[in-house]
Chains A and B, each alone.
Chain A
Amino acid sequence: MLAADLLVAQNIGFGIIALLMIVGALRVVTVNNVVHAALWLVVVLSGAAAQYLLLSAEFVAITQVLVYVGAVMVLFLFGTMLTRARIGAENDLNNKNWKIAIPVSLLMLGVMSWVIVDGFQDEKLIENPGEMSQVPIQLISDDIFGPYLLPFWALSFVLLVAVIGAIVLARKD
């Protein structure tokens, strides 16, 4: 019974991608080269995009690629390469506080798992995947610019403040 429920293509795909993401996440903090760590982070973030695709949330998946792989990671690499990216191993990459990070991330894992399990209970996202394979983008935009307009504006202002702050910091005069 367990096997029949679990051995569908989506679950196998999920397992492979999740394994890749876990390995990638561990390598991000264990490799001793800044650029290699950044590239493992690319693997993790692309894995997240692939998981969104499995959930047939293609809009979120593409946003993930556009924002994280295409912009954030490029800026990460750009910054490190301009300043301190050496080829080969480096020894002084570990932060002193790395031991505190372990309980914090375990706590995060616990809280987020509990939220997800508690939030969805036995509910399935799509009962019959054949019927509705994708959420139309028009619906998403109607939601953003309808009931969720205020949060959208608030987020835009936060970003605007960040942009202005960056300009203020960067200008010498």
Chain B
Amino acid sequence: MKFRALMLVVLAATLSVFIAACGNTGGRTDNAGSQGEDRSFTELEEEARGTTVNLSIYGGDEAINAYVDDYVTPRLKEEYDITLERTPLTDTADAVNKLLNEKSAGKEEGTIDLVWLNGENFATGAEADLWFGPWAERLPNAEYIDWESPSINRDFGYPVEGREAPWGKAQFVIIYDSAKVEDPPKSMDELRDWTAENPGRFTYPAPPDFTGNAFVEQALYSVTGEVEPFQKPFDQETFDEKSPEVYEFLNEIEPKLWREGETYPESSTKLDELYQNGEVWLSMSYNPQLAQRQINKGLWPESTRTYLLDGGTLSNTHYVAIPFNSPNKAGAQVVANFLESPEAQIAKQDPNGWGDLTALDLDRLPEDVREEFSEPEGEATLPADELQENRLPEARSEWLLELEDGWQEKVLKE
């Protein structure tokens, strides 16, 4: 009798532990937002078959839209039976705002499965716990990515921790028309002289435009001659000491800018239009292939050229992330994995298409695949190794936010 009672107790205990364990796993899949992915990729693929994935992505660049619609979407349908729906955004912050509203309203089933972002949008979302994860390092194609590199595992200084998958890299370049400009300014000092000699022929997009931020950040590096302090967490004292020099410089060139600096183009698209119309002679971009693409399309003069600033230019990685309330997390991961595949990355680098730099580490790829990542072609592009050797890291997001606010106060309003 005693033995049977003991057996019962043991059985009950085992059962309850088992049930509790089951309950736990159940809880984990339901509440995956905070726990990350634990299914195998084969399971994810299986689950994703026949589903729809909603990709929220900046919609202001036709080449990017075409890459997604004409290259990615049909292949996902064919290979994985996934329907990709692209939701264009004017500003990625709109998607982050939407998610915040949904989080505060307790909406557990959202409408975005995958969102393209980086930098402050990722950081803000991470602060509010908007991102599902970790998942990104578990993707099969993640093996081609150098997760040890700070340019990958830190997004504008913010730890990625597998909550977003690298999609590509951008590098800041300056664009000029060699028919009008013989010797383009390669530093902020030279820019000061150049604007004085060519009044009204230069301007930059108003922050918080992404490219406008980059220009101000680039000016910060150049004017202070320092990069290192801005990789560290924000500190007010350093900011108060360093930032006035930048604003002083920007205010100094302001009267010599387009429209005497009374107004600024509100986006990089607007600046590109001014360049296209010949109103300004210099433009700037985060896409080193943009100039060649615009020439090929016949939009920009053949004499357009791209160059880098002395001391290097900003470079960053952009990613895709899955919101906490994505209704199709499995599908989103399959899509992200496809976006990271060598063939999709090769197509993305095509200068006649998007022309975006790859997020993959070429050394990790098989020889034959590596060769397909060809050198950029055309007079207006720069060789890959020249770009590679002149990269500067972005400042951490907190510095950028302060820099933007300061620009509004000290440059725009004064």
Q: Do A and B come from one complex?
A: no
